[in-house]
Amino acid sequence: MEPTTRQFKDNAKEALVDAQLQDALAKLGRGFPLRRLEAAARLPEFEALRDEAREIKNHVLDNLDFYLEAYEAKVVASGGQVHWCKDAEDARRTIAEICQKAGAKTVTKSKSMIGEEISINDYLEDAGITPVETDLGEYIIQLRREPPSHIIAPAIHLSMGQVEETFRESHQDLDPARSLDEPRKLLEEARNKLRTEFLGADVGLTGANMLIAETGSNVLVTNEGNADLTYSLPRVHIVMASLEKIVPTLEDASTILRVLARSATGQDMSVYTTFCTGVRRPEDLDGPDEYHVVLLDNGRSQLIGTEFHEMLRCIRCGACLNHCPVYRSVGGHAYGWVYSGPMGAVLIPGLIGMDEAAELPNASTLCGRCESVCPMRIPLPKMLRAWRQKHYESKRSGALGRWMLGAWAALARRPKLYRRMMGLGVAILGQMGRRHGRFRRLPFAGGWTGGRDLPAPNGDTFVAQWHRGARGDASGDWLRKNPP
C-alpha cells in the first residue's frame, strides 16, 4: 500500500473522535494485556525464557549470512527453492511468475505481514490472479479493501455491525433476508465461502513465523487452521518471509514459541504450530509438489550493525501495540502503513525512509511499557529516541521546533538564567490565573488546553520555594482551594 505516514497527525485526530474505534481499542486494552499477565504467571521460567529468546536471535543476527546459506542448502535438499529478493518489486514479480507458471487462477493466502509489506494482493489481481485471504480477520478487511490495523488481529478496529454490512454487500449470492446478528453466524458464512476456495485453489501462499536453518523448515502459527488448509491442499506452496526470520534449530524455535503466544494472545501455545519442510515425499497422499521460499530483504540487511539492529529480533507478537498508550488511543490505521505501534514506529522509518515516516518516532510518550513486555527485550524507546535524534541532525525537522529546542538547550545550560526566566514566567502566569486558579485557554499551549485546563502556578517555582525553606511544608493550599 502507499504509505500515508506523513499524515500521522491528521489520521490520529480523526481516530480520536471515532467513537466506534475507541470502543474497539478499549476492549483490546482490557483483553490482551490481562491474558498475557495470566499466561506469564503460570510459567515461572517466563522471564528467563525471554532472556534466552533474545540471546538466540542475537546470535542469529551475528551470523545471519552463515545461517541463511545453511538454511537455503536444506531447503534445496528437501526439494524446495529459495528466491532471494532485494525489494518488494522483486518479491511481487517472483511470486506472480511462480503462480503464472503453475497456471494459477486462484491463490489462497494465509495472513502474512510480508504479504502486506509488498502489497502482493494488488499485484496478483493486476496479473489476473485472484488472491483469497483466509484468516477471518484478513478476509474481512480484504473485502473492505483496508490494511490491517494490528499485526495479529487485523480487523480489531471493526464492529460486528460493520462486518455484517460488509458480508451483505460482498455475498450477494446469499439470501438477503438471512440473519447475521451474532459472531457465530458471521463466522459460519465466512467458513462456508472459504471452504470452496481452499478446495479449488492452485497455489497456497503463506508467511512464516520462523525459518529453521537446521532443517530448512518454515514455521507457521495460527489459531484458525487456515494456514494448514492453505499449504496442504493446493499443488504449489509459496512461503513469503523476510530474512531475519531465521532461527538455528528446532530447539531454538521451541524456545521462541514458548514466549510468542504468551506475549501475543496470552495462550500458552497457539492452536496450530506447523513445520513445513520441502515438497511432499514420494509416498505421501497429500501435500504440495512445489515448495518456494520468497526471501525478502527490503532494507533489513542495511539495519544490521546500526542502532536499529536489535529491531530485527522482533517476532511480531503485537505485545508492544497492546500495551502502548498511543496505539491504544489512535489504533493501527493512523500510523499510515502496514505496521503500527512502537514496533512500527521503529521499523517503518527503517524500511521506507525517515523522510516518509518522520512523524512516527514522535508518536510515543517513551513510557517504556513496550520494552517491558517485549518477549525479545527490544529496546524500543531507545530506538525511537535514536530516530528523533537522526531526524534532528538531518536538519529536516521544522524550523520553529528546531529554534525552540535550540533556545531551550541554551537556557538549560545556564542554570542562573534558567531559574530567573522560569521565576518570571511562573510569576506572570500566577498573576494571570489568580482568579480561577486555572486556564481554559492559553496562547502557544492550545495543544494542552484543547483537551483540559492548565492549573495556574501559585506564583513561585519549586526551586525558589525550596530555598525559602518550604521543604516539608507542603501546605496543600492550592489543592484545598482546587480539589481535583
Partner 1 sequence: MTDARREILGTLRSALNRNQRPPNAARRRLTEHPVNLVPGRGQADPETQVGLFSNEAIRVEATISRIDDMAGVPGAVSKYLVENNLPAEIRVSPSLQGVPWTGQPMLNLTDGIAQGSDSASISRAFGGVAETGTLVFLSGPENPTTLNFVPPIHIAVIAATDIDGDYEAVWARLRAQFGPESADFMPRTVNWITGPSRTADIEQTLLLGAHGPQQLHIIIVDDPET
Q: Which residues from 362-421 bind ligand SF4, rule CB under 6 A?
A: 374-376, 378
Structure-block grid coordinates of residue 249: 534449530
Cα separation of 294 and 86, whole Å?
10
3-state secondary structure of 158: coil
Q: Using alpha carbons, list the distances in angstroms from residue 129 to 122, 125, 203, 318.
A: 10, 5, 10, 31
Interacting partner of 240 out of ligand SF4, partner 1, none (Cβ under 5 to 8 A depending on kind): none
Report how far apart, in Å, the C-alpha atoms of 470 and of each of 181, 213, 271, 476 are: 64, 66, 61, 12
Which CB sits closer to ligand SF4, 257 or 374?
Answer: 374
Single out the residue of 258, 316, 333, 391 in contact with ligand SF4 (rule: CB under 6 A).
316
**Residue 111 binds to ligand SF4 (criterion: CB under 6 A):** no
Please tell me the distance from the alpha carbon of residue 140 to that of residue 143, in angstroms, as a whole number.
5
Asked whether position 58 contacts partner 1 by CB under 8 A, the answer is: no
Decide which of partner 1, ligand SF4, none touches 308; Cβ closer than 5 to 8 Å per partner kind.
Answer: none
Q: Which is nearer to ligand SF4, 138 or 371 (CB)?
A: 371
Per CB under 8 A, does 44 bind partner 1?
yes
Using the rule CB under 6 A, is 318 a contact of ligand SF4?
Answer: yes
Q: Among 68-76, 327-335, 349-357, 383-391, which window interacts with partner 1 (CB under 8 A)?
A: 68-76
Minimum distance from residue 449 beta carbon to partner 1 (Å): 35
Given a contact cutoff of 8 angstroms between Cβ atoms, the answer to whether 456 and 437 are in contact is: yes
Q: How many other CB atoms are there within 10 angstroms of residue 247's CB atom?
A: 27
Which residues 6+ apart lie within 8 Å of 126 measured at CB?
none
* Residue in 442, 216, 419, 207 with CA at minimum distance from that of residue 315: 207
Residue whose CB is less far from ligand SF4, 96 or 320: 320
Pick the closest to residue 55 from 313, 243, 372 (CA basis): 313
Look-up of cell digits 528467563: 48
Give the one residue of 25, 155, 320, 357 binding ligand SF4; rule: CB under 6 A: 320
**Per-residue string for binding with ligand SF4, 325-364, x by CB under 6 A?**
------------------x---------------------
Out of partner 1, ligand SF4, none, what residue 436 binds, judged by CB under 5 to 8 A for its kind, is none
State which of positions 183-222 bind partner 1 (CB under 8 A): 183-184, 186-187, 191, 194-196, 198-199, 213-215, 217
Is 54 one of the binding residues for ligand SF4 (CB under 6 A)?
A: no
Q: Which of 21, 238, 243, 352 binds partner 1 (CB under 8 A)?
A: 243
19-41 helix and 250-264 helix, angle to the nearest 10 degrees: 130
Interaction of residue 228 with partner 1, rule CB under 8 A: yes
